[in-house]
Chain A
Amino acid sequence: MAQCVQSVQEFVQDSFVPMVAVLCSEEAERVTRKNNLNFAELLRPFCRLTSEGHIRDPSNQLQVVKNLRICVNNLVTSPTTTSTSLSPAQRQLLSDVVSSCQPQESAVTNVVMAGDYELNFSDDCVKASTPWYSVWRETLLEIKTSKYSSVTTPWFEAYRENFLQSMPASDHEFLNHYLACLLVVSSTEAVPVEQFLKLSQEQHRIQHSGEYTNPKWFIPNTLKYYVLLHDMFYILRYFLADEMSSSLEGHPLQLDSSMANLHNLSAVHTDLKKGAKDSNSPACAAGSHGACLTLNDHDYIRQFIQEFTFRGLLPHIEKTIRQLNDQLVSRKGLSRSLFTATKKWFGGGKAPEKSISEPKSTCGLLYPPEAPELQIRKMADLCLLVQHYDLAYSCYHTAKKDFLSDQAMLYAAGALVRAHMLVYTMICLNMVLAERCALLSAEILKSQGKYSEAATLLIKMTSEDSDLRSALLLEQAAHCFINMRNPMVRKFAFHMILSGHRFSKAGQRRHALRCYCQAMQVYKERGWSLAEDHINFTIGRQSFTLRQPEEAVTAFRQILINDSRQTAKQQGAFLREYLYVYKSVLGGNEVSLPQLPLPCIHSSATRVYFGHERRLAEGEKQAATHVSLDQEFDQDLSAMWCHLEEQLVASANGGVVPVNFQPTQCCLNSQTDNLRHPLAVVEEPIIVEVTFRNPLKVSLALSSLSLLWRFTVDGSSSSKEMTEETITNEETSAVGVDDIVTSETIQEFQLGPEETKMARLKLLPHRTGQLNIVGVVYNLAAGSSGEMTSNLMVRGKQDLNILGPRLNLTKEDKMSVRHGPDRRLNPIITAPMPLMEVFFLQFPTALLCGEIRKAYVEFCNVSGVALCGLRVVSTHAAFFTFGSQATTPLSPTSAENCSPYKTVATPLQRASEATESLVSADDFRQPSGVIEIPIDGSILQPGQSTQLPLWLRGPDQEGVHEINFLFYYESAEKGLKISHRVLRHTVFICASRSLSIQASACRSSVPPHHCLDEKGSSGTLVFIDVENINTNEGGVREFHIVQVSSSSQHWRLHKYINPNKDKECKLGSRERAKLCFRATRCKPSEATSKVVEKYTFSDLSMGNEQIISSTTPCGDFFFRCLTLETQEAYGASSRISSVSKSQGSVPTENRSSDLTDIAKECSELDLNIIVIWKAYVVEDNKQLILEGQLHVALQTIGKEASSLTAKEEAQEMVLLKFKSDLPPPVILPSAEFCQLIKTNLHYPETCTHPFVQESLCLVPVTLTLSNCSLAQVDVIIDLRHKSTSPESLEVHSSFAWVGQSQYKLQLKPKEVLCLTLQACFLQAGVYNLNTPRVFAKPSEQSIMCETSQQTATPALIVISNA
């Protein structure tokens, strides 16, 4: 319960005061009217005695009466008898009292308000972001620490006071019965004494005639006190004790009506006004009361009251008590039991409350007025009135016991006062009395700290019949809950709501609103959304009816913002109500628009796109895909584009990426880097995609949706005198803002129930400067349910505040929630930049692996600024080429159906011989994959466009390939804020299988001297296996191998040596063919100049047309593939070497690496083979010829190379490894040493020998050893037969080498040595002479690890018998 200003003692004291009636003559009434008061009202402010009085109790002990107040009322006779409830007038009065007593709005002077303010948490306490628990704890702390005890509820006190005073007197108790009567007569009367007599008779008549049940009198012998009112002079006063003894005393009570002395009236005035209300008199205009009273008059009145009390009233009471006591003692031997019974019954000091619950038995039992029980009661009441609590207590007990034994009356709560325990027994006869009882006992319990009991009591007192009372009591109960030692905040809140509900039923709107607001603090932001919505809705309604529309709007707004669990119908009602209230709030002439709560904006999902929306296709032209808002952001892709852009910028800046390089971001979202201000270009649109979410289950209709912005014009660039000028379209009155930034408006934007939808809003800046997009503005209306939507529409805005990513660098960042800046919406508008569009013509979507296709690309400068520095880079560098020679761009129509290759007619005479051409690699190679696009004059003027041929080659791996192009260009002007621009393009190419080519090389066994123009070890055979692996049966009919070319720095294909000279090589599905070629070393003069990498291209045409492979596009693609491969190879070798170094355990490393070098050099081939094919494809009953080329790089002799990279197959099934494997041990590549020495045997193929004459046949055989390596080689030749199986040694089938059977030789680099051997045959037959085992090792090698040299082919000799 809220604390009252009065203390409990004062309160109890003041609740029970002696009642004094006033009976005035007409004349006296007239006199007092001068002050606009009647006599009782005149006295009332002075009714509290300032000095102590004394009274003797029946045992003759002196009791002090302190601070006594008496209550003076005009004697009003009323016929009303029912005292069980309040009269309507009284109710009205109480209601007025309560409604007039409101908490003040300004907390300047009001203590109450200060307390209330503590309770009303300021708004910043309840931030939405704070988790519930901490808010809750905070609230609790706040409530505990707040000076809750100082929270006062003045309306309640006012109510209580009035209630107690206006209580009608009742039969069973005597508290409100009149003890005395003042008879007032004016001195202006002709015969005052007569008048006194008349009044005295009147009083007697009222009391004893029985006509009136009201008022009631305490005892038959009422004290009569005669007052003579004298204006200006005196009051004569008669003091009549028992009508018998009468003494007359004079007392001056001067009322100076002539003195218009108005000073010090303020104090009196307030008191009087209070008094005026008490006595049912209509409220008079302020300032009119007591206007004629002087200070002296005040003193006189005070003195008069004191006299009356001390000399009249108190002695009268004393006498009455004594009389009653005597009567009682004589009738019953009560005195003994008076004090003993007390302890027994009320040991715990708790009042038995059960009796309240059985009010039925009260009726029907009535006590005669003079019954002893009532006499006791009467005495007790009297004692209570004069603060003689001990006696009163005992009397009450006696009475109660009597009543109880009669099983009749009911009584109520206990009361405790001061250190003594006074159980105030109430007879709970009716609601009014029960209420009084409750009020009193609650107050007393409260003072004892028994809040819970007080609350229970108060709640019990609420009932259906009086909303006002229920409301007030519930509120007090609520306060009780919060004042408990463990504050029950939720109970507080709940009872506040109940109270608010009752207040609103009682018509006390302001109080109701206040209750709901206070309860709201407990429910707010804690997940109890249903309750919260209900409270908010009530607050909204009440605020609106109380003409506090702002609060109403806030409350309704809360309902809508909350993730409400209400039904759709309910939400629709909320929304309509909100819009209605909102509309009434807005006068329509606001300068700045109000914030709207709906729909929710998911601000971090906002995306910003700079630039025009792209056309995707224009006729058969296919535009570059670039970036659009329809694409989802992908972190990997973004990194890929960034990497590509870095390459481009590096190439444009001489190979170095500038320090301040930042990747171009066309579309900003939450994942992009938004730390810097994005750069936008003047006259290019900015599209902002705002994500709206409708939290409601009803649809919303937005209209006239557009962006709000602020714009700061560039000070330097504008010629105006103003340097920093901010222009905004936020004000509705803003005019001419479209000249600076045009904002596009979306007319209609519907949001379905609980829908999330994006709106794209466009801005077009016309000036350079700083643009800040601050929010969106729109009309909000309920969804299109009916026609009435148009009038219920409000215009408002919502801000777009984007929080940056959460910071996590410093400790402070980690401890608290901090966000970095996000400048997505704050672009800088810069000077015009060139804008390029790229179109592709005849661009395929599907290709065979290795297929060459010619397409066209068109560059179009659509801006007003010239562009230059056009470059492109791609993720698949080998996919396309613009050609390296200056080719005249043919328009696609003229070149239709032409082969992408350049051809010349085959010179017939040298069909199987290769034509050669020597090309420098620099002509083709582009550094780092960036291709500078060869446009005319390298500048594209505004509006100009140019078309270039573009050759494409299908990727070597089958499947769908995503190929990304990034075009780069910059403005012809230099020194702009934006250094360059880029344009993205992504294509998807579906590659299907074509041919698989496997090539291998081996040394030819032809002895070197047989070849005319070559050095010894250079003859090499190349075998090419071609297989048609195309699986698409319907499409490709057959493949023709058109030409095989080679390209190498050292080697070339020399001759087509297929034994079957069938020219055209056709391959149907799944067919395979083998082609044989001879390769030779290039001419040393060309090969040795290593400084300039020169490649020899040699073409071997199989048809009648020869394709010059060294030109575009064949050469381009060859080099593109080559660079890629070498890059990969470097990567791999560097990896391996780092591994071996990290091992660090090989002291022989240097040597072994030398060895490998030697071996490598010896067996190295480095021959690249290009197979050019034609595919005959039937498509839509039309035969098409597709052409393509495949590359095979033959690295070493003896190793097979494939056009399908082995990696491709291997990668498919790589097991996931959780532990990195140990690097494979570096094995000496012994296999490579077997190619060190090339051996040839020369002998007569047949030999006829007469075995009959001579049993032994000796044949000379020449063994030619050619050192293929560039190092000195030790060679050991062992001619002994290897005994594979000694048992089965067949002498007959064998021959023997005779002479020196083992040689040790040393061969210089490239040396050719001939050894003459003798073979001995025993009989005729066919023998294989290739039995000498040749071991070789480089000379530097100390350890003997000779490797057996290849003995590939059998050397057969036929020995015949002559």
Chain B
Amino acid sequence: MNTNMAVCIAVIAKENYPLYIRSVPTQNELKFHYTVHTSLDVVEEKISAVGKALGDQRELYLGLLYPTEDYKVYGYVTNSKVKFVIVVDSSNTSLRDNEIRSMFRKLHNSFTDVMCNPFHNPGDTIQSKPSAAGGSAVHSTLRLTPLMVA
């Protein structure tokens, strides 16, 4: 697996149902679903903690949500309360905070593009064309850029 790659990215709707989840070892998708779902608790905790203090000017990037034995889970919440979660292999040392931040930023841009699509019905799950045939040759981030609506 590429070292510059997250193992799972997820876009969660404001109402906490998944809009898009994609993980690289596809055979263990369920585990990532559970991980992402559980991380929402922490996300909500962080939002409620930060939200009170800073109001609108809060930082979208939430940082490391929690570490598990194998993974590190990072969170990001847009102003419209859409949550992005990126799961990184904890053995992966090349991805530091800055890289994660830029990943989230890219993800956010792609998400905005999807939302700008006039044919997309907000609230529908997002379908993305598999970025590469095997899904392996993705560098820097698990590319969501060709997020397309089916």
User: In the complex, which residues of chain A have a beta carbon less than 8 angstroms from the beta carbon of B101?
Assistant: none
- Asked if B16 is at the interface of the complex by the 8 Å CB criterion, the answer is yes
Indicate if the CB atoms of A527 and B29 lie closer than 8 Å.
no
- Asked if A122 is at the interface of the complex by the 8 Å CB criterion, the answer is no
Given contacts A131-B15, A526-B16, A527-B17, contact A486 B37 (CB under 8 A): no
CA distance A132 to B15 in the complex (A): 7
- Asked if B133 is at the interface of the complex by the 8 Å CB criterion, the answer is no
User: In the complex, which residues of chain A have a beta carbon less than 8 angstroms from the beta carbon of B13?
Assistant: 527
Closest to B18 in A: A527
Closest to A527 in B: B17
Indicate if the CB atoms of B34 and A531 lie closer than 8 Å.
yes
Question: How far apart are A754's CB and chain B's nearest CB, in angstroms?
Answer: 14
User: In the complex, which residues of chain A have a beta carbon less than 8 angstroms from the beta carbon of B93?
Assistant: none
User: In the complex, which residues of chain B have a beta carbon less than 8 angstroms from the beta carbon of A526?
Assistant: 16-17
Which applies to chain A's interface (DSSP): helix, strand, loop or mixed?
helix
CA distance A131 to B14 in the complex (A): 12
From B41-49, B71-79, B107-115, B139-147, the one touching the partner chain is B41-49
In the complex, chain B residues 37-65 whose Cβ is within 8 Å of any chain A Cβ: 37-42, 44-45, 48
- Asked if A497 is at the interface of the complex by the 8 Å CB criterion, the answer is yes
- Asked if A696 is at the interface of the complex by the 8 Å CB criterion, the answer is no
Indicate if the CB atoms of A132 and B17 lie closer than 8 Å.
yes
CA distance A528 to B18 in the complex (A): 7
- Asked if A1218 is at the interface of the complex by the 8 Å CB criterion, the answer is no
User: In the complex, which residues of chain B have a beta carbon less than 8 angstroms from the beta carbon of A493?
Assistant: 37-38
Closest to A133 in B: B15
User: In the complex, which residues of chain A have a beta carbon less than 8 angstroms from the beta carbon of B37?
Assistant: 490, 493-494, 523, 528, 531
Indicate if the CB atoms of B17 and A528 lie closer than 8 Å.
yes
Given contacts A523-B37, A528-B33, A530-B33, contact A132 B16 (CB under 8 A): yes
Chain A residues touching B, range: 20 to 34
In the complex, chain A residues 487-508 whose Cβ is within 8 Å of any chain B Cβ: 488-491, 493-494, 497
- Asked if B150 is at the interface of the complex by the 8 Å CB criterion, the answer is no
- Asked if B30 is at the interface of the complex by the 8 Å CB criterion, the answer is yes
Question: How far apart are B60's CB and chain A's nearest CB, in angstroms?
Answer: 21
Question: How far apart are B24's CB and chain A's nearest CB, in angstroms?
Answer: 16
Given contacts A131-B15, A132-B16, contact A491 B41 (CB under 8 A): yes
CA distance A133 to B14 in the complex (A): 8
CA distance A491 to B68 in the complex (A): 13
Indicate if the CB atoms of A490 and B41 lie closer than 8 Å.
yes
CA distance A490 to B33 in the complex (A): 12
- Asked if A350 is at the interface of the complex by the 8 Å CB criterion, the answer is no
Give the total of B residues in contact with A, Cβ under 8 Å.
Answer: 20
User: In the complex, which residues of chain B have a beta carbon less than 8 angstroms from the beta carbon of A497?
Assistant: 34
- Asked if A136 is at the interface of the complex by the 8 Å CB criterion, the answer is yes
CA distance A941 to B28 in the complex (A): 75
Question: How far apart are B75's CB and chain A's nearest CB, in angstroms?
Answer: 13
Indicate if the CB atoms of A531 and B30 lie closer than 8 Å.
yes
CA distance A534 to B30 in the complex (A): 8
CA distance A136 to B37 in the complex (A): 13
User: In the complex, which residues of chain B have a beta carbon less than 8 angstroms from the beta carbon of A534?
Assistant: 30
Contacting residue for A488 out of B18, B30, B34, B45, CB 8 A: B45
CA distance A531 to B125 in the complex (A): 16
Indicate if the CB atoms of B17 and A494 lie closer than 8 Å.
no
Question: How far apart are A289's CB and chain B's nearest CB, in angstroms?
Answer: 47
CA distance A534 to B32 in the complex (A): 13
Closest to A134 in B: B15
Indicate if the CB atoms of B38 and A531 lie closer than 8 Å.
no
Question: How far apart are B128's CB and chain A's nearest CB, in angstroms?
Answer: 14
Indicate if the CB atoms of B41 and A530 lie closer than 8 Å.
no
User: In the complex, which residues of chain A have a beta carbon less than 8 angstroms from the beta carbon of B42?
Assistant: 488
User: In the complex, which residues of chain A have a beta carbon less than 8 angstroms from the beta carbon of B38?
Assistant: 490-491, 493-494
Closest to A497 in B: B34
CA distance A481 to B44 in the complex (A): 14
Question: How far apart are B147's CB and chain A's nearest CB, in angstroms?
Answer: 18
Closest to B40 in A: A490
User: In the complex, which residues of chain B have a beta carbon less than 8 angstroms from the beta carbon of A133?
Assistant: 14-16
CA distance A527 to B13 in the complex (A): 10
Indicate if the CB atoms of B33 and A486 lie closer than 8 Å.
no
Question: How far apart are B43's CB and chain A's nearest CB, in angstroms?
Answer: 10
Question: How far apart are B37's CB and chain A's nearest CB, in angstroms?
Answer: 5
CA distance A132 to B124 in the complex (A): 13
Indicate if the CB atoms of B15 and A488 lie closer than 8 Å.
no
In the complex, chain A residues 518-564 whose Cβ is within 8 Å of any chain B Cβ: 523, 526-528, 530-531, 534
Closest to A495 in B: B38
- Mask for B3-37, Cβ within 8 A of A = 1, else 0? 00000000001111110000000000110011001
CA distance A531 to B34 in the complex (A): 7
Closest to B45 in A: A486
Closest to B29 in A: A530
CA distance A317 to B33 in the complex (A): 57
Closest to A533 in B: B30
In the complex, chain B residues 98-129 whose Cβ is within 8 Å of any chain A Cβ: 125
Indicate if the CB atoms of B41 and A489 lie closer than 8 Å.
yes
User: In the complex, which residues of chain B have a beta carbon less than 8 angstroms from the beta carbon of A489?
Assistant: 41
Given contacts A486-B48, A491-B38, A491-B41, contact A531 B15 (CB under 8 A): no
CA distance A1106 to B40 in the complex (A): 94
CA distance A132 to B17 in the complex (A): 8
CA distance A557 to B149 in the complex (A): 30
- Mask for A104-143, Cβ within 8 A of B = 1, else 0? 0000000000000000000000000001110010000000
Contacting residue for A136 out of B15, B34, B45, B125, CB 8 A: B15
Question: How far apart are B62's CB and chain A's nearest CB, in angstroms?
Answer: 15
Indicate if the CB atoms of A488 and B41 lie closer than 8 Å.
yes
Indicate if the CB atoms of A494 and B34 lie closer than 8 Å.
yes
CA distance A490 to B48 in the complex (A): 16
User: In the complex, which residues of chain B have a beta carbon less than 8 angstroms from the beta carbon of A131?
Assistant: 15
Closest to B17 in A: A527
User: In the complex, which residues of chain A have a beta carbon less than 8 angstroms from the beta carbon of B44?
Assistant: 486
User: In the complex, which residues of chain A have a beta carbon less than 8 angstroms from the beta carbon of B45?
Assistant: 486, 488
Question: How far apart are B29's CB and chain A's nearest CB, in angstroms?
Answer: 6
CA distance A1022 to B44 in the complex (A): 92
Question: How far apart are A983's CB and chain B's nearest CB, in angstroms?
Answer: 44
User: In the complex, which residues of chain A have a beta carbon less than 8 angstroms from the beta carbon of B34?
Assistant: 494, 497, 531
Contacting residue for A531 out of B14, B33, B39, B40, CB 8 A: B33
Closest to A526 in B: B17
Indicate if the CB atoms of A136 and B41 lie closer than 8 Å.
no
Scoring A133, A489, A497, A527 by chain B CB atoms within 10 A of each residue's CB, the highest score goes to: A527
Closest to B36 in A: A528
CA distance A526 to B18 in the complex (A): 8
User: In the complex, which residues of chain B have a beta carbon less than 8 angstroms from the beta carbon of A523?
Assistant: 37
Question: How far apart are A515's CB and chain B's nearest CB, in angstroms?
Answer: 14
In the complex, chain A residues 465-503 whose Cβ is within 8 Å of any chain B Cβ: 481, 486, 488-491, 493-494, 497
User: In the complex, which residues of chain A have a beta carbon less than 8 angstroms from the beta carbon of B14?
Assistant: 133
CA distance A530 to B30 in the complex (A): 6
Closest to A531 in B: B33
CA distance A151 to B13 in the complex (A): 32
CA distance A491 to B33 in the complex (A): 13
CA distance A497 to B30 in the complex (A): 12
Closest to B44 in A: A486
Question: How far apart are A569's CB and chain B's nearest CB, in angstroms?
Answer: 12
In the complex, chain A residues 277-307 whose Cβ is within 8 Å of any chain B Cβ: none
CA distance A904 to B101 in the complex (A): 99
Closest to A525 in B: B17
Scoring B17, B40, B42 by chain A CB atoms within 10 A of each residue's CB, the highest score goes to: B17
Q: A136-B15, A494-B34 are in contact. List 19 more A-B contacts (CB 8 A).
A: A131-B15, A132-B17, A133-B16, A136-B16, A481-B41, A486-B45, A490-B41, A491-B41, A493-B38, A494-B38, A497-B34, A523-B37, A526-B16, A528-B33, A528-B37, A530-B30, A531-B30, A531-B34, A531-B37
29 A-B residue pairs with Cβ-Cβ distance under 8 Å, sorted by A, are A131-B15, A132-B16, A133-B15, A133-B16, A136-B16, A481-B41, A486-B45, A486-B48, A488-B41, A488-B42, A490-B37, A490-B39, A490-B40, A490-B41, A491-B38, A491-B41, A493-B37, A493-B38, A494-B37, A494-B38, A497-B34, A526-B17, A527-B13, A527-B17, A527-B125, A528-B18, A528-B33, A530-B33, A531-B34
The 3 A-B residue pairs with the shortest CB-CB distance, nearest first, are A527-B17, A133-B15, A488-B41
